[in-house]
Amino acid sequence: MTALQRILRPAFWRLDDWTSRVFGAAWNPLYNLGALGFFFYWIVAISGIYVYVFFDTGVTEAYDSVAYMTEDQWYLAGVMRSLHRYAGDAMVVVMVLHLIREFAYDRLRGARWFSWLTGVPIILLVLASGITGYWLVWDQLAQYVAIATTEWLDWLPIFGEPVARNFLAPDALDDRFFTWLVFLHIAVPLLLLLALWLHLQRVSRPRINPPRGLAAASFTALLVLSLVVPATSHAPADLAKVPTVLDLDWFYLGFYPLLDLWSHGTVWVTAAILTLTLAAMPWLPPFRRPAVAQVDLDNCNGCARCAEDCPFNAISMEHRTDGKPFDREAVVKDSLCVSCGICAGSCPTATPFRRAAALVPGIELPDATLAALRDRLDRMADADGQQVYLLACEHGVRPETLQRPGVAVAALPCVGALPPSFIDYLLSRCGAAGVYLAGCAEGNCHFRLGDTWTEARLDRQRDPGLRKRVPRERVRCDGFEPHQSARLRRSVATFLDNVRELPPQEIPSARQLGARFGRAHGDGGVGSS
């Protein structure tokens, strides 16, 4: 699995980067695949409701009513029929891309297992929705799909009578069959909607609507396609004849030729193995699970900022258990935590200026404590004030490739894991000329919301905001794909030149420097805050 990810991931880095340049990060279709899937679902639903108005349920009426829509009322019902089909196809395309992309970025493990696992039935329900739709037209393609599907289903010993007997001869089929089909074609998409709702249950602030511009452009593109290449039917179904050459919709019916090539049992076994493998992927090796966030109640005042900022709803605010005079306390649900550290970045007690007591915030990652980060930054301090601190996300450009003279590099699990007070600390106490935060590419944060929250904190629009005394021109935050190390190095070099040209800022006092270096050398904890 990892080998496949190693191939796919760089391809997506480049594709993401290229589409971001063309569309901008906010409109990047690859960052909005799930939202586009929802959008196409709504197009399918609305066009389907319109088409249903004209649809007749009957052996001959079904085909005739679809033909009426396609030929007589082509300008509206025909367009709706085409939109219904093409939006359904587009939904499969974005669904498959979404799946491959999340796999490539390994966004399926740990707390993400739930979204991944609930995505598997979504695939099956999408396919079932499309397949039942193709039956309704009752043309030769519908006949082929109906017979192939029921023969395949009959392999399972669950039906009293072979279902395929319904299509044995022309007089075997009755109108009630179409009533049943219409029920299926409405019920399955409703189940799909339920599954989509479930899919998002463990995601905080899910993006289910694409940006309006992208939605409008996608809809326009589908509309143009519907007008230029309207969806059409095959010849009417005739159970006394065998459909021979078929124009398959490969998005929904792509596996049907296998039913001609392989035995039905083999196709069932293959489908079962593929489905189970897909479902089991979050638990397949190699399994890496860093330690989850831990709450320190002595320092938690129940402010709920961590719960607000958590991208996976892993933190809940519960009744206080330690008798302290606060209403609530943060509680981490281990199974939902992805160890991004964004909670530590949001904690108001996570201030590196604390010297009288050990730096233990209300919540943080045990494997990436803020005290250890402060020690590391202290050790990199440069007294001449000409150095830029580059704090890089581990999921972006590899930090070890960024070491340059005048640049002190430290890695973070996510840029959102850095409390803004650390920026103040670096500039006022560590003699930094500037602080550069390098996160994931805009809109493609590995932990979904780290870059968004960081920008909002730096702009003082979200607590904890950057203190007003911090000169904003000495702080920069950008996003990069992992392969863009050269671009990041250039950007940092330019930033370094710019901040060096700024008027000198207040130099930390000797006492402060002494305290800092003294603590860094091991006589720790002594100093002023």
Partner 1 sequence: MIRALRYVGQAAVLAAFVAVVGFFSSNPSFRHFPEGEALLKVSFSHGGDRKVECRKRTREELAELAANMRSALDCPRERVELRFEIDLDGVPLYQALLPPTGLAGDGPSRVYERFALPAGRHVLDLRLRDSRRSEGFDHVAREAVEFAAGESVAVDFRGGEGFIIR
| DSSP code of residue 70 | I
CB 88 to partner 1: min, Å: 9
| DSSP code of residue 311 | T
Count Cβ atoms below 10 Å from residue 491 Cβ, excluding itself: 17
CB 465 to partner 1: min, Å: 33
Nearer to partner 1, 257 or 265 (CB): 257
CB 68 to partner 1: min, Å: 20
Nearer to partner 1, 89 or 481 (CB): 89
Residue type present at position 442: E
* Positions that interact with partner 1 (CB under 8 A): 19, 21-24, 27, 29, 85-86, 89-90, 93, 144, 151, 154, 160-162, 164-165, 168-169, 171-172, 217-218, 220-222, 224-225, 228-229, 231, 239-251, 256-257, 260
Do the beta carbons of residue 441 and residue 17 sit within 8 Å?
yes
CB 231 to partner 1: min, Å: 7
| Residue corresponding to tokens 């940006």 | 211
Nearer to partner 1, 260 or 506 (CB): 260
Nearer to partner 1, 88 or 341 (CB): 88
DSSP per residue, 373-432? HHHHHHHT--TTS-EEEEEEETTSS-GGGG-BTTEEEEEES-GGGS-THHHHHHHHHS-E
CB 225 to partner 1: min, Å: 4
| First-to-final CA distance of the chain | 49
Nearer to partner 1, 130 or 206 (CB): 130
Nearer to partner 1, 171 or 506 (CB): 171
Count Cβ atoms below 10 Å from residue 353 Cβ, excluding itself: 15
| Greatest extent of the chain over all pairs of C-alpha atoms, in Å | 98
Nearer to partner 1, 163 or 184 (CB): 163
| Residue corresponding to tokens 């589409």 | 19
Nearer to partner 1, 32 or 421 (CB): 32
CB 155 to partner 1: min, Å: 10
Structure token digits, residue 370: 């803020």
Cα angle 10-6-2, degrees, rounded to a multiple of 5: 150
b/e sequence 146-158, b meaning 16+ C-beta within 10 Å: bbbbbebebbeee
Nearer to partner 1, 251 or 495 (CB): 251
Nearer to partner 1, 218 or 301 (CB): 218
Do the beta carbons of residue 353 and residue 421 sit within 8 Å?
yes
Nearer to partner 1, 23 or 38 (CB): 23
CB 192 to partner 1: min, Å: 19
Structure token digits, residue 381: 């301090």
Sorted by sequence, the CB contacts under 8 Å of residue 6 that are 6+ apart come out as none
C-alpha span between 307 and 346 (Å, rounded): 9
CB 82 to partner 1: min, Å: 9
Q: How far is CA 490 from the centre of its chain?
A: 29
Nearer to partner 1, 211 or 352 (CB): 211
CB 280 to partner 1: min, Å: 29
CB 240 to partner 1: min, Å: 6
DSSP per residue, 81-94? HHHHHHHHHHHHHH
Phi, psi of 490 (to 5 degrees): -65, -45
C-alpha span between 20 and 194 (Å, rounded): 32
Structure token digits, residue 286: 């190699």
CB 67 to partner 1: min, Å: 17
Structure token digits, residue 393: 């996300």
Do the beta carbons of residue 242 and residue 57 sit within 8 Å?
no
Where does residue 508 fall: left (phi above 0), alpha (psi -120 to 50 degrees), or beta otherwise? beta
CB 245 to partner 1: min, Å: 5
Count Cβ atoms below 10 Å from residue 145 Cβ, excluding itself: 25
